[in-house]
Amino acid sequence: MIKQIDTTSENNSLDRVDGRVKVTGTATYSAEYSFANLVHAVLITSTIAKGHITQIDSKEAETISGVLAIVSHLNSPGVPGYGTAKQPPERAGMGTSFRVFYDSLIYFSGQPIAMVLAETLEQANYAASLVKVTYHIEKHQTNFEENLSKAYISPGVLRNKNSPFQDYIRGDRDALDKSKFKIEATYTIPTQHHQPMEPHAIIAVWEAADKLTVYDKNQGVKSAQGNLAQAFKIPRENVKVNAQFIGGAFGSGIRVWPHTVAAVLAAKMLNRPVKLVLGRELMFSSVGYRPYTVQKVSMGADSDGLLTAIVHEGIGQTSSYEEHLERTILASRVMYDCPNVSTKYRLLSLDANTPTWMRGPGDASGMFALECALDELAFDLKIDPLTMRLRNYANHDLERNLPWSAKGLKECYELGAEKFGWKNRSHEVRSMRKDGMLIGYGMASSLYGFHRHPSKARVVMLANGTVIVQSATMDIGPGTGTAMTSIAARVLGISPDKIRFELGDSSLPDAPGQNGSSTIPSVGAAVHVACEALKKKLTELGDAMPGSDTASYADILKFHKLPELEVTEESRSGPERDQYSMYSFGCHFVEVHVSLVTGETRVKRVVTCADVGKIINYKTARSQSIGGVVGGIGMALMEESVMDHRYGRYVTSDFASYHIPVHSDIPQIDVLYVDKADTLANPIGAKGLGEIAIVGVAAAVANAVFHATGKRIRSLPINVEKLI
């Protein structure tokens, strides 16, 4: 039969297939495509948070050489898909998204209000500095804490009986009152911004009056294609979105933002390619953020530490013109074996831009609260926090009353505790010290829902036996091409260097955007089934030729005079999704050292463990886990977008003021996986990893800080001011 090579071991740790082009700078990112005739666009943004524009004086700017146009609501030809409905009839209209250059209304500071188009970037920048905007200013509300009483339940949620964000009650509503032991605490997550290395950028090119090509930083070429087709009222197939290389995103690229539409509009007006790159400061007001949240968790238990009640109420930030809902309170319904659970979720509209999903959206915030609260209760009961979690281990999903498809969380706890040396922890706070530093051990669990969407993959074997695999999926950094190459190599039994994976192009077979940790579960499954189909065809062709025992794939194609062989397959979930509850699970163990004198907190060690089903490629998976932990350390100790509420404007508007971990902040991180296929999830047995990697990390750090210092810091980030 066809010659097979053993790819199971080495292929489980492929180097990044695009590593070389990335580190040598030959990978082309959105802003780097070159066009003769390119126009440079610079946005002018609102300096007030609420009100309206009374005048835009661009006379002087228009005289600058090279300036081609200055676009605003005064002269915009309009975006056809925006329609003419008043937006909004009153200033707090919900469910409509922001329409760029539409009218004079100002909803947030940093809102794009005009755009200078010029021959060079310098000309555009200089001209933009000369445009004078006058406003009628209204009083804005940007302070979350001061507006808590205005939190409301989303009208859309109220209308939709099936919304997970409806108020939820399971079991006895008086269970908390009846509990022998209880705690109640409020946890605060500040606004955090994704801030990937590569800023958002677009080059828009109209190939014809109804034919558009964009080179755009985003996380989903197919959804961007659909959104732009809708906005400009042209057929979907006439829009081509290219996003082959993305320098990080963490969720900021899931939506099509106003600046993207603005660039496309400008290109249409001038009938020339237009390039727009957001500067770092605009990255704080243009592409979403993790919403500010305040969560109250009450928890009751009996003297053995068995949970008797969980009450979790969350309020999340949204904008005045749009609703953003996320999973903040949902994990509390499924994480533990607790019969009596209630949750509430509310929104609070502020005069700021709309938040969006940021790595582990909802769960990273919610599990911070839940996992800190559980730690607080365990400490009061003098029960080891890990023991507490094992005592309340949920053997099925109590929310949906379904069995898990697979749950290796117990194995995670065991593997992690062993590697970390959890047994060396003494229960009392401030009980472990070394060299003038307080030592703290903390841990937390993590979970993340399973997302699998219908996906297609095309596999083409060329005459020489090399293979091209294609899907309109994305790589925002995890190494999608590498994992897909690994899957194809294993199924086809050929060397990975004979395979090329193509992505980031909307003309390729349908695939979801890279979000919700859905890429491997969805597209990985499609690549798997497409390669199996190709292999079946090749096997049949091979069986029909003499001497097939030693024939290679190339020999088979040659014998049958086939220049190439191609299959396209789709893969999607079946009824199992309604019969089983599917999640990724994990846990983190953290050691912190806190200075007795200065309160300086250093994370010294992290052991992170996950059960995400089968690990497709160890090397890139490990990088994902490490990246998630780094993000979690940033969330715990540093990240905070600080606003000056007098102006409704962020004062953290660069990397000097918005702190993220640097290399010396990051310790040894050990990554462990259960690595057992979840055969119910999909044909490759793999679940999502990218988001769960960050979920729970901040709680583990906070719990370690408590163990070290005896101080519960419930408001992130845990910085020196809060500790001393």
The residues annotated with a catalytic role in the active site are 691
Cα dihedral: 660, 665, 670, 675 (round 10): 0
Q: Which of residues 28-67 bind ligand MOS (CB under 6 A)?
A: none
CB of residue 188 vs ligand MOS: minimum separation in angstroms?
Answer: 20
Which stretch in 220-228, 246-254, 424-432, 651-659 sits in contact with ligand MOS by CB under 6 A?
Answer: 246-254
Q: How far is the CB of 361 from ligand MOS (least distance, A)?
A: 5
What is the CB neighbour count within 10 angstroms for residue 394? 17
Amino acid at 282: L
657: three-class secondary structure by DSSP: coil
Q: Which of 450, 447, 428 is nearest to 439 (CA)?
A: 428
Q: How far is CA 51 from CA 54, 84, 323, 403, in A?
A: 9, 21, 20, 53
- Fill in the DSSP letter of residue 524: I
Task: Please state, in angstroms and rounded to a whole number, the distance separating the CA atoms of residues 103 and 34.
Answer: 33
Choose one: 247-255, 270-278, 463-471, 649-657; the region binding ligand MOS (CB under 6 A): 247-255
Residue 353 CB, shortest distance to ligand MOS, in Å, is 17
Tell me which residue has its CB nearest to ligand MOS. Answer: 251
Residue 625 interacting with ligand MOS (CB under 6 A) = no
The residues in 531-560 that bind ligand MOS, with binding defined as CB under 6 A, are none
Residue with tokens 């194609």: 557
For residue 556, the SS3 value is helix
Encoded one letter per residue, x for contact with ligand MOS by CB under 6 A and - for no contact, window 167-206 reads ----------------------------------------
- State the minimum distance, in angstroms, from the CB of residue 25 to ligand MOS: 25
Question: Which of 187, 357, 450, 589: binder of ligand MOS (CB under 6 A)?
Answer: 357
Smaller CB distance to ligand MOS: residue 197 or 597? 197
Residue closer to ligand MOS (CB basis): 251 or 481: 251
Give the C-alpha distances (Å, rounded to integers) separating 89 from 65, 81, 524.
41, 18, 46
CA distance 298 to 293: 16
Select the span of 2-10, 65-73, 249-257, 381-389 touching ligand MOS (CB under 6 A).
Answer: 249-257
d(CA 277, CA 15): 31
Using CB under 6 A as the binding rule, the residues of this chain from 643 to 702 that contact ligand MOS are: 691
Q: Which is nearer to ligand MOS, 182 or 453 (CB)?
A: 453
CB atoms within 10 A of CB 407: 23
Cβ pair 12, 617 in contact under 8 A: yes
Binding mask 258-297 for ligand MOS (x = CB under 6 A): ----------------------------------------
Residue number with CB closer to ligand MOS (219 or 624) = 219
Q: How far is the CB of 631 from ligand MOS (least distance, A)?
A: 11
Residue 267 C-beta: closest distance to ligand MOS, Å: 27
Q: Which among 367, 312, 385 is positioned nearest to 345, based on CA atoms?
A: 312
- Token pair, residue 296, equals 């109250």
Q: Which is nearer to ligand MOS, 224 or 301 (CB)?
A: 224
- Single out the segment in contact with ligand MOS by CB under 6 A; choices: 34-42, 104-112, 358-366, 527-535: 358-366
Give me the residue label for tokens 């519960």.
712
Please state whether beta strands 39-45 and 112-118 pair in parallel, antiparallel, or not at all (unpaired).
Answer: antiparallel
Residues 486-515 that bind ligand MOS (CB under 6 A): 515
Least distance CB 228 / ligand MOS (angstroms): 20
Other CB atoms within a 10 A radius of the CB of residue 711 amount to 17
Strand partners, 348: 317
Nearest partner of 346 among 309, 311, 317, 310, judged by Cα: 317
Task: Specify the stretch interacting with ligand MOS by CB under 6 A; choose among 16-24, 339-347, 356-364, 502-510.
Answer: 356-364
Could you say which of 190, 220, 251, 688 contacts ligand MOS (CB under 6 A)?
251
596: helix, strand or coil = coil
Q: How many CB atoms within 10 Å of residue 564?
A: 13
Identify which of residues 7 and 473 has a Cβ nearer to ligand MOS in the complex. Answer: 473
Query: What backbone phi and psi angles, to 5 degrees, belong to 499?
Result: -120, 135
Nearer to ligand MOS (CB atom), residue 250 or residue 658: 250
Q: Are strands 239-242 and 211-216 parallel, antiparallel or unpaired?
A: parallel
Could you please report the per-residue DSSP string of 76-88? ----GGG-S--S-
Residue (273 or 512) nearer to ligand MOS, CB: 512
CB of 491 to ligand MOS, least distance (A): 27
What's the closest the beta carbon of residue 409 comes to ligand MOS, in angstroms?
A: 22
- Nearest distance from C-beta of residue 457 to ligand MOS, angstroms: 21
Question: Of the listed pieces 116-124, 224-232, 250-258, 413-421, which binds ligand MOS according to CB under 6 A?
Answer: 250-258
304 contacts 272 by C-beta, under 8 angstroms:
no
Closest to ligand MOS by CB, 214 or 254: 254
The amino acid present at 485, given as its one-letter code, is: T
Pick from 220, 288, 362, 516 the residue near ligand MOS by CB under 6 A. Answer: 516
| CA distance linking residue 141 with residue 448, whole number of Å | 33
Between 219 and 571, CB nearer to ligand MOS: 219
Token representation of residue 25: 């700078």
Angle between helices 480-492 and 618-637 (to 10 degrees): 150
Q: Looking at 521-669, list the stretches that DSSP marks H as alpha helix, in order from N- to C-terminal side.
A: 525-543, 553-559, 576-579, 618-637
Smallest distance, Å, CB 691 to ligand MOS?
Answer: 6
Q: Is the peptide bond before 717 cis (omega within 30 degrees of 0)?
A: yes
Whether 614 contacts 621, CB under 8 Å: no
In the set 277, 358, 374, 700, which binds ligand MOS (CB under 6 A)?
Answer: 358
Number of chain residues interacting with ligand MOS (CB under 6 A): 11
Q: Find the shortest distance in angstroms from Cβ 388 to ligand MOS.
A: 29
Rounded Cα gap, residues 600 and 622, in angstroms: 28
Write out the two tokens for 360: 């582990």
Taking the complex as a whole, the smallest distance from the CB of residue 514 to ligand MOS amounts, in Å, to 7
Q: From CA 407, how far away is CA 512, in angstroms rounded?
A: 25
Task: Closer to ligand MOS by CB, 29 or 289: give it.
Answer: 289
CB-nearer residue toward ligand MOS: 248 or 710: 248
Residue 370 main-chain phi, psi, to 5 deg: -60, -45
**Options 133-141, 256-264, 351-359, 416-424: segment touching ligand MOS (CB under 6 A):** 351-359
Among 222, 333, 359, 649, binds ligand MOS (CB under 6 A): 359
Nearer to ligand MOS among residue 46 and residue 515 (C-beta): 515
DSSP secondary structure of 304-363: T--EEEEEEEEEEEEESS------TTGGGGTSB--S-EEEEEEEEEESS------SSTTH
Least Cα distance to 219 among 255, 257, 258 occurs for 255
Stretch that binds ligand MOS, among 353-361, 458-466, 500-508, 666-674 (CB under 6 A): 353-361
Query: Of the candidates 355, 361, 440, 504, which one interacts with ligand MOS according to CB under 6 A?
Result: 361
Binding site for ligand MOS (CB under 6 A): 219, 250-251, 254, 357-359, 361, 515-516, 691
